[in-house]
Amino acid sequence: MAINLEKGGRINLSKDVPALKRVRLGLGWSANAYDSGKAFDLDASVFVCKANADGHAKLISDEHFVFYGNLKSPDGAVVHAGDDRDGSASGDDESITVDLKRIAPEIDEISFVVTIYEAPERRQNFGQVKNSYIKLYDDESGKEIAKYSLEDDFSTETAVQFGSLYKKDGAWLFKAVGAGYKKGLADFVVAYGGNLA
């Protein structure tokens, strides 16, 4: 049975899903009746990181930022299935797969972020998006591991740091960060040490 994640919740993937080889993140939302003049375009992104000297997660390289403009990490371990611009697909609208067996040994953390495209210009926030969620799956079996509902906790925010896969004592764990921000994707790129040029 899937776990309904709450902010700060943790899952030991190595213990709870011992045969797990590939994790898939699914992002879904409904095309919304709220009239802001534009469709709601939610974007799932991943930052593949290594902890720096002060313990903060930083991008390995700009190519390790996987999003609608860069669909694959250099090692092929993280793959984005492509951009959905209006939430009209059936099931998950966007998905990102992480192959845990292909992740380089120096990688400590894989952070998942969801943002609303052009939120300030479109005057949009998560409180206006219907049926928005993020799910974690065992990609091989298709079994849902955990779910986090976005609309419940983020009424005015335009970005959510959903959570992170991180390695501890050789085991992969997942932490539901659940931090909302009034930011855009570019702000996260800067925060993770990426280059916008």
Instruction: List the domain range (segments joined by +) for residue 97.
Output: 3-191
Which stretch of 23-37, 127-141, 159-173 has the lowest confidence by average pLDDT? 23-37
Q: Mean per-residue pLDDT for 162-174?
A: 86
Q: What are the counts of helices (DSSP H) followed by strands (DSSP E) for the chain?
A: 3, 13
User: 133 in a domain, yes or no?
Assistant: yes
User: 197 in a domain, yes or no?
Assistant: no
Model pTM score: 0.89
pLDDT band with cut points at 50, 70 and 90 for residue 24: very high
Amino acid at 140: E
User: 91 in a domain, yes or no?
Assistant: yes
User: 196 in a domain, yes or no?
Assistant: no
The CATH code of the domain that includes 144 is: 2.60.60.30
pLDDT value at residue 32: 63
Please give the Cα distance from 110 to 91 (Å, whole number): 24
User: 155 in a domain, yes or no?
Assistant: yes
Higher pLDDT, 95 or 88: 95
pLDDT band with cut points at 50, 70 and 90 for residue 142: very high
User: 81 in a domain, yes or no?
Assistant: yes
Q: What is the pLDDT of residues 98-126, one digit of tens each?
A: 999 999 999 999 999 999 999 988 888 88
Residue 90, classed as helix, strand or coil, is: coil
pLDDT value at residue 68: 94
What is the per-residue burial (b if ≥16 Cβ within 10 Å, else e) of 59-96? bbeeebbbbbebeebeeebbbbeebbeebeeeebbbbb
Which stretch of 3-7, 92-96, 157-161, 193-197 has the lowest confidence by average pLDDT? 3-7
User: 98 in a domain, yes or no?
Assistant: yes
When divided into structural domains, the chain yields a total of 1
User: 157 in a domain, yes or no?
Assistant: yes
